[in-house]
Structure formats: structure tokens, C-alpha cells
């Protein structure tokens, strides 16, 4: 079975590509390298530089492909608040172009990397998949719009669709700037012994899921057909300031906190119910927060040491 991974040169996409290859799948990566890195792509994969909006390149990438894991897209919430048109054009129209190319190529199976941002401020916790969608920022709105298009392509063209709504991924791996993921920012600031940038005084509650567990879910759902929506989280909410304290405990020292106040587009609390995914394919998170933080700190410590040695 051959899988096309759009955005496969990115942080999460490169992890998914590696796990697919390790599981015996053939992989084609399509990435325009605007936010990914060629060195992120496993050399066992076929790599095509191109944009999902370019139907010629996309159809080239789709040759011989059985399914698509769609991860290409812009993901920075504050940027989406400043420029919603850019996010709509790239994420929504780009995905519709991809779906049209898939339809013409006869590839009708897609796994989409969505986001907990589609829920906005939740009515209750933990969040289940049947919760109403009312995104609080344009990035989340683009994810919700893409989900609606996927539903339409399922209904009209018999696409098999699986939507994975990510909560807060973290772990080792090269990220493209600007780095907006909380944990990498906290770790890199701590290692550099600089103030940690913290919104809302760290009182917001998040569901942090380790990158390898998140990537594994994409492999696990490949056998599914029909239309499926799953949350992908640890099912446990943690205050951001408590994560900071865990990092301090692991490294053995503290650094000051840079209180950045409130941030437009943020929600105060969200964490998942992933019971539906467990029942469907037996997926469950295997690694837990403190151990995952140790692994992530080790990765950034190595990168930090290499950077220091070259300066």
C-alpha cells in the first residue's frame, strides 16, 4: 500500500512518514518546503517538492497512491488572526484543490490532520467528538471548513474520510519558525537560561500529547472506511504552569517567567476524550508527560549544545 503524505517535510509529517515506512508502507511526500525541511524527510520515501494547490504536481504525486494523509497547511493561530484571508486561501482552497486532484486520480481515501481548535471554548470537559464546533480563531475556522468539505466529498463522491482532531502535540523534531508550540518554547528558553514566555500566567489547561503517540494514530486508522472523526489527546488536562514546573524539576534549575498577558484566539481550557479512537482501532497513548518531557529536553539539549559549539 502506498501513502501520500502532504506536508511530510514538516514536524508531524516527518514522524508520520517514518512510522509508515517502519510499518511496511511505501510513502510519497509532497511538500512545498515553505515550513518544512528536506532533511526531515526519511530517505526511504519518494519526495516531490510541490504545493497541493498545484494540480499538476499533486497528480504526479498521486500516481500509484492508495490513500492520502493530509498534513500540509498553515498552523500559527496569532498569524491567522492577523491574516485570515491567507489562511483561507492556503488551508481551505488548497485542500479543495487537493480533493479535486484526488477525485480525478481515483484516490478516494484521506486522513486529515484537524485540530481541537474547531471546538473553540468548550461547553463541557472532556471534549467528545459530538461537541458543537464554534472555533475561536481563523485557524480553527479553516480546519472546521475543511472538515465540512471532507463530509461533502464523502457524501457526493464516496470518499473514505478519517478526521483526527489533534490536541497539543510536542516532542523531539525540527520545527519551522516562528515556533508557537508551548513546550519547545519553554524548553529552549530554559536551556538558554532566558525568561519563559507565558500567556495567561500559565493558568490555561491543555491536553499535551507526545508526537510519537500522535503519529501512530495515523497508521492505526488506515484500515478504516466510511466517515470517521476522532479526538487525539491524552484525555487529561494539565495547567501550563505545571508543565513549566516539571521542566524546571527535570533540568534542576529555574528561570524567570515573562508574563505576556492574554492572547487573542486562546481558550482557557481544553482536553480530549479519546475513547472513540480507542474503541475503533485500539489506539492508546503509550508514553506519559514527565517521561516525554525528559525525551524532548534531551533532544533540545543536544541541539542547543551543537549550536553553542558552532558559535
Other CB atoms within a 10 A radius of the CB of residue 245 amount to 12
Pairing of strands 168-170, 196-199: unpaired
Pairing of strands 238-239, 205-206: antiparallel
Q: Return the half-sphere exposure (C-beta side, CA atoms, 13 A cut-off) of residue 199.
A: 17
Distance in angstroms (rounded) separating the CA atoms of residues 12 and 170: 9
Q: Which of 139, 166, 170, 271 is catalytic?
A: 139
The torsion angles phi and psi of 272, rounded to 5 degrees, stand at -95, 155
- Concerning whether 139 is annotated as a catalytic residue, the answer is yes
DSSP E strands in the chain: the ranges are: 2-6, 26-31, 46-49, 67-70, 109-115, 160-166, 168-170, 196-199, 205-206, 208-210, 227-232, 238-239, 257-261
Task: Please check whether residue 231 is in contact with residue 165, taking contact to mean a CB–CB distance below 8 angstroms.
Answer: yes
The torsion angles phi and psi of 65, rounded to 5 degrees, stand at -90, 145
- Any idea what DSSP says for residue 116? G
Task: Please check whether residue 230 is in contact with residue 276, taking contact to mean a CB–CB distance below 8 angstroms.
Answer: yes
Catalytic positions, please? 139
Amino acid at each position: 500500500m502506498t501513502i501520500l503524505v502532504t506536508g511530510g517535510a514538516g514536524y508531524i509529517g516527518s514522524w508520520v512518514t517514518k512510522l509508515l515506512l517502519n510499518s511496511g508502507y511505501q510513502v510519497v511526500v509532497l511538500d512545498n518546503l515553505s515550513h518544512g525541511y528536506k532533511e526531515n524527510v526519511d530517505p526511504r520515501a519518494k519526495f516531490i517538492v510541490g504545493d497541493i494547490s498545484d494540480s499538476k504536481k499533486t497528480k504526479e504525486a498521486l500516481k500509484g497512491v492508495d490513500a492520502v494523509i493530509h498534513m500540509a497547511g498553515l498552523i500559527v493561530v496569532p498569524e491567522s488572526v492577523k491574516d485570515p484571508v491567507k489562511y483561507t486561501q492556503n488551508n481551505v482552497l488548497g485542500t479543495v484543490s487537493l480533493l479535486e486532484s484526488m477525485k480525478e486520480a481515483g484516490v478516494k481515501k484521506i486522513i486529515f490532520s484537524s485540530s481541537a481548535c474547531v471546538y473553540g471554548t468548550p461547553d463541557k470537559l472532556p471534549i467528545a467528538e459530538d461537541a458543537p464546533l464554534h472555533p475561536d480563531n481563523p485557524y480553527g475556522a479553516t480546519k472546521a471548513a475543511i472538515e465540512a468539505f471532507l463530509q461533502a466529498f464523502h457524501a457526493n463522491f464516496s470518499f473514505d474520510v478519517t478526521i483526527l482532531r489533534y490536541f497539543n502535540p510536542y516532542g523531539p523534531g525540527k520545527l519551522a519558525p516562528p515556533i508557537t508550540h508551548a513546550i519547545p518554547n519553554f524548553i529552549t528558553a530554559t536551556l538558554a537560561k532566558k525568561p519563559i514566555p507565558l500567556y495567561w500566567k500559565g493558568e490555561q489547561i491543555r491536553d499535551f500529547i507526545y508526537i510519537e503517540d500522535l503519529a501512530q494514530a495515523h497508521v492505526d486508522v488506515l484500515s478504516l472506511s466510511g466517515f470517521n472523526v476522532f479526538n487525539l489527546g491524552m484525555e487529561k488536562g494539565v495547567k501550563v504552569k505545571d508543565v513549566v514546573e516539571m521542566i524546571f524539576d527535570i533540568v534542576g534549575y529555574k528561570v524567570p517567567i515573562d508574563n505576556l498577558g492574554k492572547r487573542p484566539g486562546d481558550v482557557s481550557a481544553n482536553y480530549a476524550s479519546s475513547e472513540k479512537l480507542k474503541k475503533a482501532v485500539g489506539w492508546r497513548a503509550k508514553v506519559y508527560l514527565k517521561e516525554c518531557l525528559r525525551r524532548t529536553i534531551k533532544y533540545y539539549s543536544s541541539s542547543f549544545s551543537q549550536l553553542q559549539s558552532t558559535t
